[in-house]
Copies of this chain bind each other. A is one copy, B any other.
């Protein structure tokens, strides 16, 4: 994907709501690319010297309001990751032993059941977040 294309959807999304794609916003977006879910502290540290702390916070808040990122409670701290618009919808597996988190691909049947669980009770679901925790393959062996 060329650099231009890379920001196309992001820019469109921002523009639609009257916001612009600035350098700091591009940077934060880049930091979220291909790195998995990350804590705010890590993002701030990685942006050090480039973007101010306050701007990172403001950008993440804006991105969340616009549905560009998702905030999830994985393991001990909460983390941000790009939302389903930029990443295929998926769930997470968190290893309680080593603390790593892994992606689990979504499954149409499961999604349907989740939605019907909510709509059956009168709620109107827009999305969801599923975290499974336990032991990853490496840690299963290790704890014989």
Residues of A within 8 A of B (CB): 64, 71-73, 76, 78, 91, 93, 95-96, 102, 104, 107, 109-110, 113-115, 117-118, 121-137, 140
Contacts and interface: CB of A to CB of B under 8 A. Distances in A.
Q: What's the number of copies of this chain in the assembled complex?
A: 2
Contact of A110 (B64, B113, B132, B134): B113
A134 B126 contact: yes
A124 B110 contact: no
Central interface residue in A113, A121, A135, A136, by most chain B CB within 10 Å: A121
A102 B123 CA distance: 10
A13 B117 CA distance: 32
A33 B140 CA distance: 33
